[in-house]
Amino acid sequence: MQRAILQLLRCPRCRRGGLRPETDTAELLFGPLHCAECHARYPVAEGVADLVAEPASSALAQRGLEQRLVARSYERYVRPALQRALSAPPMDRDSEYLLYRSLLGHPEAPVLDLGTGTGLFARRLARESGLPPVVGMDVSRAMLEESVAQAHEDGVRVDLLRAEAPYLPFQDGSLGGVLLAHSLHFIAELGRLLLEVSRVLRPGGRFVASTWIPPGRAATFVQRSAGLHPREEEELKDALAAAGLGGFARLRLPPLLVVKAEKPVR
Ligand SMILES: C[S@@+](CC[C@H](N)C(=O)[O-])C[C@H]1O[C@@H](n2cnc3c(N)ncnc32)[C@H](O)[C@@H]1O
């Protein structure tokens, strides 16, 4: 993890202190980070900071994403299969990436790929010249391990951390953009999440998120039974406004509902 990202981290336990390595370094691959306020310690291995103190309690769908086999086959088989199950034909990956990229605008500070999974979009963002550093966050160790492997394979630099939304372990106003692709329906506490997004974004920073449009009552029921949280446009619009995020825009591209909002410049 490079210094530019380390400097932005905030302790998820006391939610006050910055996180520091034992010695100042341009890049931290192994070794602990400690909180300057509460002295909590968090391990870093292969550059991935693990900020989850307690094992996360996972719903059924999330437990699947904690499996190595699922993580290894995610980009090639699992993701396309999920999209095919929800609509035919699904949007191709390049179009999806270009959509998110254009909605993110011109970030002037690091971009967080929240629920990064295997880093599919984090790697694409990191390859773009002229963008600030990209940091991927996910709660699944298996997905992050796969993300490290894929980034090595592609020769791309993505800083990664294990942490559990809705809390975001970043300092106030430290990020230029937050992308949450295909993951909004995994987060139970929508209001809390959006308040956190609003807190960590710089003025003018954008939040871009996508979720699966619930295709009818039966599918909504199945998603809920798997521990997911299908959400409609109106609910998202109201929750974004309540969190102080303006400039709402949305695209319905079945199976995806994509929303964009912005931290106002005062
Ligand atoms: C369907 S995958 C999407 C991955 C990637 N963004 C993509 O578009 O391919 C959802 C990801 O969100 C992660 N996730 C679920 N709940 C989370 C939480 N509370 N905090 C952080 N990540 C979470 C899962 O582990 C999983 O990797």
Ranges of each domain in the chain: 1-51, 53-262
Nearest atom, ligand 1, residue 188 CA: 19
- Report the Cα–Cα distance between both ends of the chain, in Å, rounded: 32
Q: Give residue 88's pLDDT.
A: 62
Hey, which bits of 151-264 come out as E strands?
159-162, 175-180, 201-212, 246-253, 256-262
Q: Give residue 225's pLDDT.
A: 84
Say whether pLDDT at 216 is over 90: no
Q: Give residue 62's pLDDT.
A: 82
Q: What is the pLDDT of residues 49-86, one digit of tens each?
A: 999 976 666 777 888 888 999 999 999 998 888 877 77
State CA 200 to chain mean position distance: 13
Mean pLDDT computed over 176-186: 95
140 lines ligand 1 (CB under 6 A): yes
Q: Which long-range contacts (CB under 8 A, 24 or more apart) does 121-129 make?
A: 121/97, 121/179, 121/181, 122/147, 122/151, 122/158, 123/150, 123/151, 123/154, 123/156, 123/158, 124/97, 125/101, 125/179, 126/151, 126/156, 126/157, 126/158, 127/154, 127/156, 128/101
180 lines ligand 1 (CB under 6 A): no
From ligand 1's centre to the CA of 186, what distance in Å? 7
Q: Which residues contact 130 (CB under 8 A, 6 or more apart)?
A: none
Q: How much is the pTM? A: 0.93
From ligand 1's centre to the CA of 248, what distance in Å? 23
Protein residue with its CA nearest to atom 19 in ligand 1: 165
Mean pLDDT computed over 182-190: 93
Domain 53-262: assigned CATH number: 3.40.50.150
Q: What is the pLDDT of residues 125-180, one digit of tens each?
A: 999 988 999 999 999 999 999 999 999 999 999 999 999 999 999 999 999 999 99
Q: Which residues of 123-154 are buried (b: 16+ CB within 10 A; e: fewer)?
A: bbbbeeeebbbbbbbbbbbbbbbbbbebbeee
164 lines ligand 1 (CB under 6 A): yes
DSSP 8-state symbol, 103:
H
DSSP 8-state symbol, 122:
H
Alpha-carbon distance of 210 to 260, in angstroms, equals 9
From ligand 1's centre to the CA of 116, what distance in Å? 6
Alpha-carbon distance of 204 to 263, in angstroms, equals 5
Mean pLDDT computed over 232-246: 96
Nearest to 99, CA basis, from 261, 237, 258, 212: 258
Concatenated DSSP letters of 44-98: EETTEEE---SPPP--HHHHHTT-HHHHHHIIIIIHHHHHHHHSSSPPPHHHHHH
Alpha-carbon distance of 70 to 67, in angstroms, equals 5
- Between 205 and 56, the higher pLDDT residue: 205
Say whether pLDDT at 218 is over 70: yes
Q: Give residue 57's pLDDT.
A: 63
Q: What are the tokens at 259?
A: 């929303």
Q: What is the pLDDT of residues 81-112, one digit of tens each?
A: 887 777 666 788 999 999 999 999 999 999 99
**For all residues of the chain together, what is the average pLDDT?**
92
- Between 33 and 221, the higher pLDDT residue: 33
159 lines ligand 1 (CB under 6 A): no
Q: What are the tokens at 42?
A: 């968090």
